[in-house]
Amino acid sequence: MPARRKVLSWGAATAAAAAAPALAGCGESAGAARLTRQAPRRDGQRVELVFWTWVPLQKAVALWNRKHPGIHVTVQIVPANTQGGYQKMHSALKAGSPPDLAQVEYYALPEFMLVNGLTDLSEHGADKLKSAYVGWQWDQGVFGGRVHAIPQGSGPMAYYYRKDLFERWDIEVPRTWDEFRTAARTVKKRGGGARICAFPPNNAMWYAAFPWQRGARWIRSEGDTWIVDIDSPASLEVADFWDGLLRDGLLSVMPDTQSAWYKAVQSGRLVSWPAAQWGDALLRGNAPGTKGNWRVAPLPQWERGQRDSANWGGSSTAVLQGTRHPAEAVEFAHWLNTDPESIDLLIQAGYGWPAARVDLDETALGKPDPFFGGQRYNEVFQDADRHVDTSWKWAPTTIQSFEHIKDAFGRATAGQGSLTGALRDVQGRVVDDLQAKGLKVRSA
């Protein structure tokens, strides 16, 4: 079994330090039109920073602005991740007009490194901050031994379920994925059109959590070579499991966290959700009529008796190449992600599981929650977080990989093939993408 973390640690692990050699010396041209340079700080002059993010962090930033009048941060909301936010960031880098800071998910950091899009923060004192953060999350922004992003949070996975409906239909909370299949059959039989959960063919990162939990590794690096293994036996076993659920009509096929999905959750047509810790805010904010009916249990296991989890989501606060205030940007990024008052405000905003080393009982995460029937549900996520295999990595072409999976899964769920066939197709496409970046790559 892979080594497990033993510390408290929001979304998905990336290549980080171990993959740095495979990013060094690649043939990709620089994507930043200007390089970072520290502007002199004059007495009494207020520094202005711009921060691009899709998470509603305005309250935390307003607190910073009140407490730090010499460094003013303006939040600008951009489209979420693959919905256009990263394209906007890359365009700004190429135009020489980037924001000072940007929310960049862990899986996307290698791609920004590939085009020289991130500032070396070790030059501005970031190395001294390491002890404040959970080790594996800190490492997401370290390349070649140099810090290029401040970790923000991750997304350990667990199982949200409707306790009232499970009891009404006499369904045991599934402890294994085999029991999940049995529960799905009962929901279909007794639920009057309800389904146990949705399968979102457009959400490759959500899906990736399940082969991750099973012990698959889609990507890894050896020296300067990337090794692609998306169609490994463990990965195909997971795909075959979901193929069977789809074939038997046990799932609703629809995009998640969109209006139709929220309506189905609110009305009880979807009665559970394997998801990340930050999903609590989505349920609370978009299905208020279900208050008190939800509970959280560990993620079902592939083998009885195991306690494996996985990760969905996860972001850093990155300082983009070209800023004129890198030292001030590091100061703000560190405060945002470690100050206790800021962390509580970020938790309210649904940003995820903190990257800072925190005591659960000293934050809003440790409180019983009426929405979850008074359960201290984050204790489940705390344990899940301790059982994530942190050796999972992402390639510097992950955004492209997600698009390939989205297209292939879309065809499969429309009756044109299977998920297992889709992964076999995606395997070759990911190899081609890495080769097109000038990187050394081979299939496992």
Kindly report, residue by residue over 177-190, the tens digit of the pLDDT. 999 999 999 999 99
Average pLDDT on 90-96 reads 95
Q: Looking at the domain assignment, is residue 1 inside a domain?
A: no
User: Same structural domain for residues 245 and 133?
Assistant: no
Instruction: List the beta strands (DSSP E) in 285-352.
Output: 294-297, 311-319
Above 60 in pLDDT, residue 12? no
Q: Looking at the domain assignment, is residue 172 inside a domain?
A: yes
Kindly report, residue by residue over 297-318, the tens digit of the pLDDT. 999 999 999 999 999 989 999 9
Q: Looking at the domain assignment, is residue 428 inside a domain?
A: yes
Q: How many domains does the chain have?
A: 2
Q: Looking at the domain assignment, is residue 5 inside a domain?
A: no
Domain end, chosen from 368, 385, 402, is at 385
User: Same structural domain for residues 370 and 283?
Assistant: no
User: Same structural domain for residues 192 and 338?
Assistant: no
Above 90 in pLDDT, residue 267? yes
Q: Looking at the domain assignment, is residue 11 inside a domain?
A: no
User: Same structural domain for residues 266 and 145?
Assistant: no
Does pTM top 0.85 for this prediction? yes
CATH number at residue 243: 3.40.190.10
Residues with Cβ within 8 Å of 393's Cβ and at least 6 positions away in sequence, in order, are 13, 14, 15, 16, 18, 19, 217, 219, 220, 221
**Token code pair at residue 327:** 């030292």
Handedness of CA 84, 198, 316, 285 (dihedral sign): positive
The mean-pLDDT minimum among 5-19, 157-171, 200-214, 217-231 falls in: 5-19
Kindly report, residue by residue over 20-67, the tens digit of the pLDDT. 445 544 434 457 889 999 999 888 789 999 999 998 999 999 999 999
Domain end, chosen from 337, 362, 385, is at 385
User: Same structural domain for residues 144 and 36?
Assistant: yes
User: Same structural domain for residues 287 and 412?
Assistant: yes
Residue range(s) defining the domain that contains residue 327:
16-155+313-385
Residues with Cβ within 8 Å of 91's Cβ and at least 6 positions away in sequence, in order, are none
Above 80 in pLDDT, residue 3? no
Average pLDDT on 255-276 reads 97
Residues 178/345, Cβ–Cβ less than 8 Å: no
Q: Looking at the domain assignment, is residue 380 inside a domain?
A: yes
Q: Which H or E run includes 20?
A: helix 16-23
At which residue do the structure tokens 């936010």 appear?
85
Bridge partners of residue 276, in order along the sequence: 157
User: Same structural domain for residues 413 and 301?
Assistant: yes
Bridge partners of residue 270, in order along the sequence: 195
| HEC sequence for 145-193 | CEECEEEEEEEEEEEEEEHHHHHHCCCCCCCEHHHHHHHHHHHHHHCCC
